Structure 1
Amino acid sequence: MRIKLSLQNMAARVELGDLAVSDSPPYCIHGPTLVFRRYYQEKHTSRQFYACAVHRNRKGCQFFHYTDQPLSGEKREHYMSLYREYQASLTQSHTVSLSSSSSAAPPINSISFCIECSLLYATDKDGHIHNKHSHRERITKEEAQQPTLLLYPASDNKGQAQYFFSDKTHSFILSEMKRLNFSHAICLGTPKIFEALAGAGIKGFLLDIDHRFHQFYGGEVFQRFNMFNGFFYDEGKGKESLMRFIESVPQDRILLIIDPPFGGLLNALRTGVDIIWNLIGTECSTLLVFPYFNEVHVTESFPTFLMLDYQVTYGNHRYYGDNGKKGKPSPVRFFTNIPLPGLVLPTDEGYKYCSVCNRYVSSLNEHCSICDCCTSKDGRSYKHCHQCGTCVKETHDHCLTCKSCQPSQHDCQQKSMRKSGCFVCGAFDHKKQHCPSRPSRHLRNDKRKMSFVSKRKPVLRKRLKSKSNISSSTSKT
């Protein structure tokens, strides 16, 4: 029977499943699958299934298997053979490698790049194969060192999509790394930053799922990695290569920079990040990029993280660029476990220092004496609502009918029709996170406990204690 289920269509009712059943997940062609749980509100039940850890809909990957259905060893081996065959096909056409560890690397001026095939090739030897394609004849040294200048960005927003930070955001990251004395960076899904590190005198290691980077980098600085399940595609050498990089520097001089797909599950991302932290041996300093309106979900999966006011922009994103959507600022922010007082935001880009909060904030983010913090999330001014007991956008007014602050011209009836409760059981007095019918969070995450929790840096514990008031205040908005 054909199962017509789609992660895209039922995304609002799907979350990461029990990790206890995923010790040995089957493979799809993209690697080990993840366990998801789908809730059936009308039946007050749920069911778990295996699905692709890379693509978030069935168009990208059709793999689907309920966890309560038998999966024979023969079937598992069949899935594994499909995985190996597909992965081999990704790199079998690679005939040229610019890796510094490759003894057969030809001179740069003898190499060209086929844009349609995303392939480096020897100009004299294979030029006839690609001469009818769009290509770059004899690439430059700069292009060889910055492959994002050559590679066409992946654009599947339900799977692999590549958006690169703007020059302004690059400058901020690099300047803060130098100022805070970080000498090494692990770039998780941030190839553009990885390229910029060399010019700043910082050593980097790139973890990315894009196989095309294999043509440009050797295993000593690049490994294919799935951030949502922590899978190294080079199972023999991937983890060892990263360990050699980590062991070459003190833990407190490593910065982990993460730019995940915004549609990915954060608790799945935490699984991949935990693997990196475990290799380092501590929860190292980390920058995570995510929209501010997902702050609650970010801090649920990363409880030691706080949000910066800095507006992250992208050079090739339609809405999240420097100009923003319809003149609105970018909603993307940095979440970090670095103490916020230690991060200096550029005043010439519209940021100021709040002496009460002891951190830099947006210039329009006014300190609220009642909430005891700078409450704005979107970079614009907020106002305090005494009925709600929190700060709200200036475009919102308190509605006695809705019993909450709403846009001035809102329709009360339409809001009540849109009201939704818990999608696990359907009740309106709580949300999914607090549903008594939902499996215990502690049970689901029991296998994810960190082996290094007791080794965390004292500075993190100190920061959490000193910033507890700010954290509790900002969570009200």
Structure 2
Amino acid sequence: MGMSEAAGIELIINQDAESKAPMCPHGPTLLFVKVNRKEQEARRFYACAACRDRKDCNFFQWEDEKVSVARQLAREDFNRSRQPPFTHKQYVERYQRFVSLPLANRMFCTDCQLLLLPEEWDQHRSHHQLGDVSLRQLKRPSHLLLPLENKKTNAQYLFADRTCQFLLDLIVLLGFRRVLCIGTPRLHELIRVRQSEKKEPVIKSQLLDIDFRYSQFYSEEEFCHYNMFNHYFFGGKSASEACQTFLCQDNGESVIMVTDPPFGGLVEALAHSFKKNVSMWKTSRNEADDEELPIFWIFPYFFEPRILQCFPTFSMLDYQVDYDNHALYKHGNSGRKQSPVRIFTNLPPKDIILPAEEGYRFCSLCQRYISSTNRHCEICQACTSKDGRQWKHCQTCNKCVKPSWVHCDICGRCALREHSCGTAGGGCFTCGSTEHKRRECPNTAFPNRAIIEKAKPRKRKISEMDKRTAVKKSKKQAQKTSTGKKETIKWATGKSKRKLKRKNKRQRRGQTLCSAR
């Protein structure tokens, strides 16, 4: 959620909020607090966990709002109407029937994004269809399905083959034998293709994704319809247990979680869900064991401070992640020269070998692999570049900054040359400091303002009498305006007639004088 000068919105995470959260089509909603800087007050409300745009999901409810039974029942009916047309079990049965059909009878409706059985052909006759769907195509459903490219909700930007192959090779090299793929369908597919080719060592994968269309292609053990923003399994307890079973196999050994969330998503909500996956994994471990579940979190580099705040043991790698269907986040003439997407991990950076053929090299001082343009700063004692360019050291700030930045004496920091002085680059919503967030602000007069439940004064209800009076006033005003317009037109018409009469009179007088001469 964004913030503005007039009002700000922050996420509230606690067990009580989760237990009382109402449901929308995307699972349990999240609790937010709306803060008004001028009035120094806050009000809490529930909104959709997956959609930041009200156009995608318009659920909204104040925390202290009382919902009637009728409205609650209507809401439940609406939520059911927005669920997939088939259960996961039914999708699996349909898939088994589909693959048993001859090649000429395997039809896919591109409009409905559905594998069609022969008895359904007539219903989709007017739709665009793809015929002769091969088993090879069924193994790579991300190439068959149209990507959902809403960056705030689905953001189904798919890994380029280069990135996907690098991740799989790295996973094999590090010795992992199971991969929990959260929002990474391309990686899941590549692992399954490798499995079908019977390559050694054997790697298993389970996909968790909010796109229910993958239910058509994978069993309940291979895919779970899942919302990563609220850790919600649409398949219920059986789906949650399938995920836990996958994580806890072999006492939780040799498993890694790889996640590629939508870039418009809330970091705090994602981190909270990922920690729940870690808790599921820890049920198979020794309680005295303080090991962490290995994680690859793929996200833009400028989210590094927020990710490290949630996971202090993480570090950011220099590897640039590319996408096939993203206009900017890919190499080549059609994309950026440098992709801003990176890998955040709790594994030792020195163990993650980046490809030398792409210009990555090992820094013996930092004990990690870096990009070719990243230079070690002797003052900072680190390879400081984040965005793929060579950064420069600012003596005044005593840190390395982007090459396009200059030091501003007015702001007391480095910024773009054409920046507006005095504007803070994020941080505390109350006092403007970049050192802390609003909830930790020491200057606020309301130390627990985030949990104030005081509601804003409600607007006075307009009675029927007031409405009728307002209507009468508006009619009178319109009548006056209309009358004024008519009088103006009448006056203008009369004036024109008088002018014409005077003109004709002058002409007749002139003609009389001419005849007299």
- Quote how far apart the aligned CAs of 1:209 are: 0.7
* TM-score normalized with structure 1 length: 0.83
Which of 121, 126, 139 is equivalent to 1:132? 126
Distance change in 2, residues 1:118/1:304 (3 Å): same
Cα 1:428/1:375, change in 2 over 3 Å: closer
2:228 corresponds in structure 1 to: 227
1:422 touches 1:435 (CA, 8 Å); kept in 2? no
1:37-57 CA deviation, whole Å, 9 max, x = no partner? 121111122211101111111
After TM superposition, give the deviation of residue 199 of structure 1 in Å.
Answer: 3.1
Aligned length: 431
Larger radius of gyration: 2
Query: How far did 1:256 drift?
Result: 0.4
Per-residue Cα deviation, 1:280-336 (whole angstroms, up to 9, x for no partner): 116311000111011111111222211000001101100001238764300000000
Seen in structure 2, the aligned counterparts of structure 1 residues 442 and 155 have a Cα distance that, compared at 3 Å, is same
Asked whether the 8 Å contact 1:194–1:205 carries over to 2, the reply is yes
Structure 2: distance between partners of 1:93 and 1:21: 30
Shift in alpha-carbon separation, 1:422–1:137, aligned structure 2, 3 A: closer
CA separation in 2, counterparts of 1:313 and 1:421? Answer: 28
Instruction: Decide whether aligned partners of structure 1 residues 387 and 420 sit closer, same or farther in structure 2, where only a CA change above 3 A counts.
Output: closer
Q: What corresponds to 1:322 in structure 2?
A: 331
Contact 1:185 1:203 in 2 (8 A): yes
Q: How does 1:423-442 map to 2 (within 5 A)?
A: 424-427=429-432, 431-433=436-438, 434-436=440-442, 437=444
1:94 and 1:119 in contact (8 A); partners too: no
Helix, strand or coil at the partner of 1:22: helix
Distance 1:91 1:74 in 2: 27
The letter of the residue matching 1:322 is H
Match of 1:40 in 2: 36
Alpha-carbon distance between aligned partners in 1 of 2:426 and 2:87, rounded to the nearest angstrom: 51
Q: Please give the per-residue CA displacement for 1:86-120, whole angstroms capped at 9, x wherever unaligned.
A: 21x543799764788x5786336232111111010
Cα RMSD (Å): 2.9
Confirm whether residue 114 of structure 1 aligns to residue 109 of structure 2. yes
Letter in 1 for 2:441: C
Equivalence for 1:56: 52
> Which of 289, 292, 295 does residue 301 from structure 2 map onto?
292
1:264 maps to 2:265:
yes
Aligned AA (1:176): L
Distance 1:104 1:237, change over 3 A: farther
Which of 75, 79, 83 is the matching residue for 1:83? 79
Aligned match of 2:359? 350
Q: SS where residue 35 of structure 2 aligns?
A: strand
1:415 aligns with 2:421: yes
Cα distance change on mapping 1:420 and 1:296 into 2, 3 Å: closer
CA drift of 1:226 comes to 0.6
Change in Cα spacing, 1:232 to 1:342, as seen in structure 2 (3 Å) is same
**Which residue of structure 2 lines up, in the alignment, with residue 302 of structure 1?**
311
2:100 is paired with a residue whose SS is coil
**Residues in 2 aligned to 1:50 and 1:356: alpha-carbon distance in whole angstroms:** 48
Q: Distance between the aligned counterparts of 1:259 and 1:18, measured in 2?
A: 22
Q: Is the 8 A contact 1:50 1:67 kept in 2?
A: yes
Q: 1:18 to 1:183 in 2, by over 3 A?
A: closer
Pairing partner for 2:350 from 341, 347, 369: 341
Any gaps of 5 or more consecutive residues in structure 2?
A: 195-201, 283-290, 453-517
Query: Relative to structure 1, is the Cα distance of residues 439 and 99 closer, same or farther in structure 2, using a 3 angstrom cutoff?
Result: farther
Aligned-residue identity in percent: 35
